[in-house]
Structure 1
């Protein structure tokens, strides 16, 4: 039986790989993709998502635009951890794919998610891999929809170090109030895939050669996008490895297919919303005498071999 999945994305390069893996793997039913402002503004995340689905022959998957701004901080986020258009810009604004032939649905992501979760007859797995603005809005509008969720798998947060500040990972930093709302929403099963894990599952240039060699649209597209990520990480010295980069969001989809790709432990996690130097930090109580009930299974490690094997098999 296939697993019904809804992806919530801010499509840049790693979201694109996650979308392709979810859309093409036979064990997943990608019912829809919702978009949110994050890596690029909402119009671009939506356009990029449509480009990806068209490129791999899945224009049938509906795309619903979500929030164009954080839930509480209009005008936020501020300066990013890389300058747009620089050698460290791993996303760009528009992905290097043909302009979409299809259009996004008129129904907003919030309306779509509320209706779907209220009426579904089968559990839904929700995978948000961008800022949590749309998801927080849905849960605030109707907290009972959480009962329709088999699992929520979030790409976000970090323990040892962030990527946009020393404390914070981008998705949580870009809308810290939304992240705090979702983490405290009492979700029955929440898996948090952190930077600590995704930085352990690096994809190399040699892997990209193999992906390109598949000769398929998805293989070539993944190779091109991941190569751009490797170039950007190399320029910014963002990982302690040569010729490799994390593909954060794809790890979340890999986990749905092969759970052994990550190693998790139950942790109580809160999100800092007030600290001037720590806003967006995922505060994880890892003490032996930790207080508070665990609210997430948190991934601190991941396997590159499992991720790459999945990409190669799905994109072939």
Structure 2
């Protein structure tokens, strides 16, 4: 059928676009969705994910709730100031109520079951804090062989958005992020905010989405609070589809241009906590130990990416 995909998410407006992108793509076998704390608390991210799948007429996709807090240190902050109090600009309850009950399994158990049952490699797209993925790899190391790629939205090469140094998803659970990005031997593509900001779309793009039909109209209606935030952050009328950029790459490998770099995550308690430290030196000192590298998305055809996402959300393939 195409790419076998699991999304781990904390909806969130950009998560909503990402979930819809996968759910509406006929070349994607969306095996499941797991939820995590992040943009809003876990209860809200979970009902948002379920309602979004119902909006996309995908009651076949199981949803399981995962971590409600980081691995080590409590996280008192979320992102209602960006996404609205319910994560969807106050419009969550306008979405259809889910027909499928919440899966009785927790997120890690569902991830393990789906991977164990898979007859070919599965792509995982974590687009929130990496807590569930770190727990999966710690508890079930044998599933690594079933993972084709982990395509992550997170991190920053130059500066953060939650702090001067750290991007929100990585900052929300640096210890989990370090396990996945640095310590585990799994193929990773990191899609940092440096690139996702360059893929921002304007209100003409949103108007075209709204005009495409009832589903597009509903997706566009989730954006007012998000648009108000990015009007200030961008300095023009538009929004950043952070998570949808990562899911686009998960669906169509190679849509983003990547380069291979070593990386580390600052897990200290100082002002750089949550920073992704990407070693972009072309030459390293002789005699140093080889280190793990991951693929980091550094460029794309921005216009083509915007058209790809819009076509999928509008019902085209």
TM-score normalized by the length of structure 1: 0.91
Report Cα offsets for 1:10-67 as digits up to 9, x if no partner.
1110111000000111111111000001111111100000111111211221101111
Deviation at 1:117, TM superposition (A): 2.1
- State the alpha-carbon separation in 1 of the partners of residues 24 and 150 from structure 2: 20
* Residue pair 1:203, 1:304 contacting (<8 A) in 2 also: no
Which residue in 2 is equivalent to 1:230? 227
* Residue pair 1:226, 1:247 contacting (<8 A) in 2 also: no
Consecutive unaligned residues in structure 2, runs of 5 or more? none
Which residue in 1 is equivalent to 2:49? 49
Cα gap change, 1:260/1:151 in structure 2, threshold over 3 Å: closer, same or farther? closer
Which residue in 1 is equivalent to 2:278? 284
| Residues 4-83 of structure 1 mapped to structure 2, 5 A cutoff | 4-73=4-73, 76-80=74-78
TM-score normalized by the length of structure 2: 0.90
> Match for 2:116 among 115, 118, 129?
118
Which residue in 1 is equivalent to 2:128? 130
Consecutive unaligned residues in structure 1, runs of 5 or more? none
Deviation at 1:187, TM superposition (A): 3.4
Cα gap change, 1:176/1:155 in structure 2, threshold over 3 Å: closer, same or farther? same
* Residue pair 2:127, 2:153 contacting (<8 A) in 1 also: yes
Shifted more, 248-257 versus 199-208: the winner is: 248-257
RMSD: 1.8
- State the alpha-carbon separation in 2 of the partners of residues 140 and 294 from structure 1: 18
- State the alpha-carbon separation in 1 of the partners of residues 292 and 258 from structure 2: 12
- State the alpha-carbon separation in 1 of the partners of residues 127 and 2 from structure 2: 21
* Residue pair 1:156, 1:193 contacting (<8 A) in 2 also: yes
Report Cα offsets for 1:55-94 as digits up to 9, x if no partner.
1211221101111111111xx22345x6x4xxx4324315
> Match for 2:239 among 219, 227, 245?
245
* Residue pair 1:208, 1:226 contacting (<8 A) in 2 also: no
Q: Which structure 1 residue ranges, 4+ long, deviate > 4 Å from structure 2? A: none
Does 2:95 correspond to 1:98?
yes
Cα gap change, 1:143/1:280 in structure 2, threshold over 3 Å: closer, same or farther? same
* Residue pair 1:154, 1:192 contacting (<8 A) in 2 also: yes
Deviation at 1:230, TM superposition (A): 2.2
Report Cα offsets for 1:249-274 as digits up to 9, x if no partner.
00011113444542211011111101
Report Cα offsets for 1:274-293 as digits up to 9, x if no partner.
14100100010011224643
- State the SS of the aligned residue for 1:126: strand
Cα gap change, 1:91/1:252 in structure 2, threshold over 3 Å: closer, same or farther? farther
- State the alpha-carbon separation in 2 of the partners of residues 79 and 112 from structure 1: 27
- State the alpha-carbon separation in 1 of the partners of residues 165 and 45 from structure 2: 26
Cα gap change, 1:303/1:202 in structure 2, threshold over 3 Å: closer, same or farther? farther
Which residue in 1 is equivalent to 2:214? 216
